[in-house]
Structure 1
């Protein structure tokens, strides 16, 4: 048996919380001294405390936790609950990040309204893993890559819908090989918590990029490519244009009407 202070230390909680858990009946001490009221705990009660803290972290109310603990939660069940909640948190993070990127893009478009030229921004692009498919386009022309990209996205969406996978932030990645006209085209969505059957988990690394925002139909995105190419030439990055790596992040791309689409185009600098 250990006193409440030592039990709190072992369990990584405060004595105030242990008193609260006692008061509401979810974790009562093994013994209470009738004269002093001092609480003592058995070390084996740490297993219950660990489950309590984990369930609280999962968002369960203390009433719900009391019922679950009363029914008994074995380690396998606890692991399953944690994985489900982890997947939910990851989904929320992806959605929140996508919303933040959309707002940031809108702000850049507003700033652009007062300037004569397209705004080019350099920044560090975060690493992202996408559930994807890839194919080779015969060259880098919009006619070649556009057809391949649309076909890939159709297949990716079909496979994700088949397993009810969450889709957030469509991403296209174009990789040119040295000395070749062909381009590898990768299309996918930010990967959910688990892999998606039939799709490849492809990791885009952290990298410095030059980026601009394109708004409107994809048929007009060549203007954004040209602006970034001119920027690269003017800023000593002309070598990158020999075998460039481009990323397209589709921030707003709902439906077939592309009038209001917003795409962030990025040229990898490293």
Structure 2
């Protein structure tokens, strides 16, 4: 069998894909005839089309319509994998071209029901003075670095106005304590603009703290899916 190792032929025989026409009992030599050669070439052809051996075993003697359906499904998977790899490459190229303090990730989050107190903020530097300490969540309705005053809100225990955030697609970034939070916010909005994502609601700033005192800040921006 030209181009196929003895080990491969034995494996095909073991999994029931291609049995030899005869085996010499004395020497163990395997004989393959024209029918086996034709079957082998079909196996190799189906492999070149992207079909795994386990699927080839089911399709080797199947009608053409079943084979075409399997190939259509394989092609759909290949196109999806290519799209995923292309997006991954684009994100890596973006990070190399524009150094960032964070690594944004796009995901889907469930609804949240909050009670909030609205704030009128004259400048971002005022937030530290008017916001309660963590674990309160800060909400801002911004599309980037504010040029002037802006509206914000902070979560309260029971007395605030109700606010329901629906299930949504968000871009999330984890900001470690070693990273400047304002710089992280600027990097996040710049990333959104470079990727042509439309902001659809308030940015959430959540502060997480472990029992051992370790903490991080989560920035979460809702975007159009």
Q: Greater share of helix residues, 1 or 2?
A: 1
TM bracket (short chain): 0.3 to 0.5
Larger radius of gyration: 2
